[in-house]
Amino acid sequence: DSGVTQTPKHLITATGQRVTLRCSPRSGDLSVYWYQQSLDQGLQFLIHYYNGEERAKGNILERFSAQQFPDLHSELNLSSLELGDSALYFCASSVGLPPYEQYFGPGTRLTVT
């Protein structure tokens, strides 16, 4: 158990809908990262927050947004969902800024039908 929690574990929704994925980092960790893992693309970095501020952005679609709240939990919002958004979404946390090691949550499996 990494200490990072993600909810929900599974999510099934229809195209065009909007969902919110939630991540609670390990106690004391200030950095939160979001990744997407699909079969054809592998593990792709989406976005990094540090103590409430956005620090880095990867290939995150404009339909996707994230934020980190004062209690350090983070949410990833996915809107206008498409079939291709079906994937595993992982959240990771680290105590500070890179290159500190990242601890990953168990992931949220999103299925868009």
Partner 1 sequence: DAKTTQPNSMESNEEEPVHLPCNHSTISGTDYIHWYRQLPSQGPEYVIHGLTSNVNNRMASLAIAEDRKSSTLILHRATLRDAAVYYCIPNSGNTPLVFGKGTRLSVIA
Task: Write down the least CB distance from residue 28 to partner 1, Å.
Answer: 16
Nearest by Cα to 80 from 98, 96, 99, 61 = 61
Identify whether the C-beta of residue 16 lies closer than 8 Å to the C-beta of residue 31: no
Task: Write down the least CB distance from residue 58 to partner 1, Å.
Answer: 6
Asked whether position 101 contacts partner 1 by CB under 8 A, the answer is yes
Site size toward partner 1 (CB under 8 A) is 23
Helices and strands counted in the chain (H then E): 0, 11
The token duo for 26 is 């390990």
Asked whether position 25 contacts partner 1 by CB under 8 A, the answer is no
Binding site for partner 1 (CB under 8 A): 2, 4, 33, 35, 42-45, 48, 56, 58, 90, 92, 97-99, 101-107
